[in-house]
Amino acid sequence: MYKHDVLIIGAGLAGLRAAVEATRLGLDVAVISKVHPVRSHSNAAQGGINAPLTDRGDDWEGHALDTIKGSDYLADQDAVEIMSSEAGDAVIELERMGVIFSRGEDGRLGTRRFGGQLVARTFFVGAITGSAILHVLYEQALKHGLNTYEEWFVTDLIVEDGRCVGVVALDVKTGELHSIWAKAVIMAAGGAGRVFEPSTNAIICTGDGLALAWRAGVPMMDMEMVQYHPTTLARTGILLSEAARGEGAHLLNSEGERFMLRYAPQYEELASRDVVSRAEQTEINEGRGIEGNVLLDLRHLGREFIEDRLGYLQEVSVEFLGIDLAEQPVPVRPGVHYIMGGIKTDVDGATIVPGLYAAGECANVSVHGANRLGANSLLDTVVFGRRSAVHAADYIKSVDAGSGSDEHLNETKSRIQSLLDRAPNENWAAVRNFMANEMTKGIGVFRDQRSMEGAKAAIDNVDERINKISVQNKGKVFNTDLIFTLEMEFMADVGKAVVHSALARKESRGAHFRTDITERDDENWLKHTLAYQDADN
């Protein structure tokens, strides 16, 4: 039996930042992750991390205001205040841990501009900021001798007497199930982009954390708020960072027009993501696209600049499309990228289930509201990852460990056995691909009652099929077929929450833009949607 003070699910930025904090506080901490920590999807964050650094003339109020405006006023202002005011220390701390942030002439941290903000306050490492921070946090984890369960897949949360006291998890390498007990569990399991197709998200972003918490009774909040990133690479859906536009790249339609000058004369290409994605989609819908894409043009930035500051963008454009950014504009389109919605928490990461915390993309504090500003996600992870750990450390002082009973473990064992015993029928991939395509169709950049009902019908269909999915691989060792089937169940839960939340919100706000109700309705809808598992909406 495994036992810790605090167990953190997920080893991306939020998880590792929480782990480092909890370790510093002297707790017995462990991180459990279905992939090795350095494989986490935080890697994919490219452009940077926002922070208003007061010692160089910026102020947190400015950042907070931009964030709230960007959120279309749905973000909670107290939460945003905390994030903005703690941002400076958070970034400086990362630098001191070893992050190789880009510098100015004076040797101090340099910035670039990002969308939805008129001030340059985004700190960055080329176009690999997420990866560079993740690896440094992993270094810190190694330094502190952090316990890790690498390639362990959490199947269930253990809830006893209304408190979360641990997890049941599958050791992927051996195929054995185990209970891991902890006085507090911090959910930092990342996003759910795979509920949609295409998406910039990794194959591992299947909403596990969201679904696990949901099943434990925590509501998912604002799940209709799905961010479409304006610049994802044609066909592959790979992200091309907003940093490109932050550094001066233009968006062009088929007529060579910089169309953003029409849609957002003040912010131009750096309007908030919902605005830019809608503009692109409008251009495409009105026949000024190029095979379903618009063009991102970096040519005027020059080869040297592109390779120095946006090297990774050049790498993926060349490798995946054969396009040299210094020579040719690259076709891009809006693509599912991030989910503003998530496990409802307070500003300390606490959920309504005692002992269960959440941070990072799976959580909704809410600081992003209806639209997240670029480079605020990394900030969110480190600020609220840390706060969750601090609060959890306090919480565990007054609680006992769970029972240690094998009951939960045995339940999971028999559930998984029955899954393996199912007669051949549905295949998880077919169900996933069907659902994800339908979700993108129904809950798109633009949506209306009919499209959303279409997505709901798809989810209902998935509901019927999901219990017929059979696992072809009956073995124990590295049975990814089984893992994907369990992930499919998580994705179906998330899809359900998204569809019901979207249908509930009878207005347009941020990423939730209804062509049948185009106005924001502050009188009735300046509020969050909450989706519970039991109730149907």
Partner 1 sequence: MQAKLKVSRFDPETMGQGQRRWDEFELDVHPSATVLDALIQIREEVDGTLSLRCACRASICGSCGMRVNGDAKLVCKTRIVDTFKDGETIVVEPMGNQAIIKDLVVSLDPFFDKVRQVDPYLQPDAEPDQGEFVASNDSMVNLLTAMNCIMCGACVSDCTVLEVDEAFIGPAALAKAWRFVEDPRDDQRDERLKELNDVEGGIWDCTRCFKCVEVCPKDVAPMDRIMEMRDMAIEAGNTNTPGYRHTESFNKSVKKHGRLDEARLAVESAGYTNVPRLIDLAEIGIRSTLKGKMPPIVPHKADDKEKITRIFERVESERK
Residues near partner 1, by CB under 8 A: 35-36, 38-41, 43-44, 55, 92, 95-98, 100-110, 125-126, 128, 131-132, 135-136, 139-140, 142-143, 173, 202-204, 235-236, 238-239, 308, 312, 315-316, 319-321, 427, 429-430, 433, 471-473, 475-481
How far apart are alpha carbons 293 and 289 in whole angstroms? 5
Sequence length of the chain is 537
Would you say 86 or 348 has its CB closer to partner 1?
86
How far apart are alpha carbons 427 and 507 in whole angstroms? 37
The backbone torsions φ and ψ at residue 490, rounded to the nearest 5 degrees and listed phi first, read -65, -45
Burial 123-161 (b: 16+ CB within 10 A, else e): bbbbbbbbbbbbbbbbebbeeeebbbbbbbbbbbbbbbe
In the complex, minimum distance from the CB of residue 174 to partner 1, in angstroms, rounded to a whole number: 10
How far apart are alpha carbons 189 and 59 in whole angstroms? 31
In the complex, minimum distance from the CB of residue 361 to partner 1, in angstroms, rounded to a whole number: 15
Would you say 280 or 481 has its CB closer to partner 1?
481
Coil, strand or helix at 238:
coil
Would you say 313 or 492 has its CB closer to partner 1?
313
Structure token pair of residue 254: 């088929």
Would you say 46 or 366 has its CB closer to partner 1?
46
Would you say 123 or 228 has its CB closer to partner 1?
123
Whether the Cβ atoms of residue 490 and residue 207 lie closer than 8 Å to each other: yes
How far apart are alpha carbons 68 and 80 in whole angstroms? 7
Q: What string of DSSP letters covers 7-65?
A: EEE--SHHHHHHHHHHHHTT--EEEEESS-GGGSGGGG--S-EE---GGGT--HHHHHH
Would you say 203 or 261 has its CB closer to partner 1?
203
How far apart are alpha carbons 263 and 506 in whole angstroms? 24
Would you say 61 or 308 has its CB closer to partner 1?
308
Residue (of 326, 272, 332, 263) closest to 116 by Cα position: 272
Active site residue 273: yes
Whether the Cβ atoms of residue 337 and residue 199 lie closer than 8 Å to each other: yes
| Element holding 117 (H helix, E strand) | none
Sequence-distant (≥ 6) Cβ neighbours of residue 208 within 8 angstroms? 9, 34, 154, 189, 487, 490
In the complex, minimum distance from the CB of residue 311 to partner 1, in angstroms, rounded to a whole number: 8
Number of neighbours of residue 515 by Cβ within 10 angstroms:
12
Would you say 311 or 404 has its CB closer to partner 1?
311
In the complex, minimum distance from the CB of residue 312 to partner 1, in angstroms, rounded to a whole number: 7
In the complex, minimum distance from the CB of residue 95 to partner 1, in angstroms, rounded to a whole number: 4
Would you say 185 or 204 has its CB closer to partner 1?
204
Whether the Cβ atoms of residue 313 and residue 326 lie closer than 8 Å to each other: no
Catalytic residue among 17, 113, 121, 273: 273
In the complex, minimum distance from the CB of residue 253 to partner 1, in angstroms, rounded to a whole number: 24
> Burial of 446 by CB count in 10 Å (0-12 exposed, 13-18 middle, 19+ buried)?
middle
In the complex, minimum distance from the CB of residue 82 to partner 1, in angstroms, rounded to a whole number: 21
In the complex, minimum distance from the CB of residue 379 to partner 1, in angstroms, rounded to a whole number: 16
Would you say 43 or 451 has its CB closer to partner 1?
43
How far apart are alpha carbons 52 and 61 in whole angstroms? 9
Coil, strand or helix at 414:
helix
The backbone torsions φ and ψ at residue 112, rounded to the nearest 5 degrees and listed phi first, read -135, 165
In the complex, minimum distance from the CB of residue 472 to partner 1, in angstroms, rounded to a whole number: 3
Query: 101-104 contacts: CB < 8 A, separation 24 or more?
Result: 101/125, 102/126, 102/309
In the complex, minimum distance from the CB of residue 190 to partner 1, in angstroms, rounded to a whole number: 11
The backbone torsions φ and ψ at residue 63, rounded to the nearest 5 degrees and listed phi first, read -65, -40
Q: Which residues are part of the catalytic machinery?
A: 273
